[in-house]
Amino acid sequence: MSDDSGGLHERVTASERVYEGRIMNVRLDTIEMADGRVAEREVVEHAEVVAIVPVDTDRNVILVRQYRLPARDVLLEVPAGGVDEGEFVDEAAQRELREETGYRAAVLERLGGFYVSPGYVTEFIHVFLAMDLTEDPLDGDADEEIDVVHMSLAEAVRLTETGKIKDGKSIIGLLLAARALATA
């Protein structure tokens, strides 16, 4: 197995949890760099996340619109949510899809994944394409207000290009889905 780190690494010499919350924790790590220098890293610990691009037989996507306090805006997004402890990512994708849109996918294909911002947060998002949809709702989270929006995949991609869809996971998910369906 090859090492593609180029000799770069950091060794954690001390770690202190400075905050514990419902959806994230924050820790302060003291690290030693490869050349022996010592530094501190603030790390936000966040569970894995799934983002789902549901596409129906007419190539319409099902998006969710909700107010996001940190952005202080109503955002149009792909359905998404955290992976519960002990849950497989495909199970989480199916659950989140049912909770947020009311649909279940007979076909669930993992398109890829990415770190949200690896300089300070551990959050990794798995992106799925969901097809062959049937209605099968689950109760959503009590603290969420969501509007379900149907539009063509082409229009959703256009909204990523014009800046109307501003959410990173949604932009990545929609572009990956459009590419996957174009080559299918």
Map 22-38 to HEC letters: CCEEEEEEEEEECCCCE
Per DSSP, the three-state class of 161 is: helix
100 classed as catalytic: no
- Reading the block at residue 1, the tokens are 């197995």
The structure tokens listed for 70 are 């940190």
Q: Whole-angstrom Cα distance, residue 116 to residue 124?
A: 6
Catalytic residue among 48, 96, 99, 145: 145
86 Cβ neighbours under 8 A, 6+ residues apart: none
Q: Residue 171 is encoded by which pair of tokens?
A: 């932009």
> Nearest CA to 73 among 173, 168, 164?
164
Cite the active site residues.
145
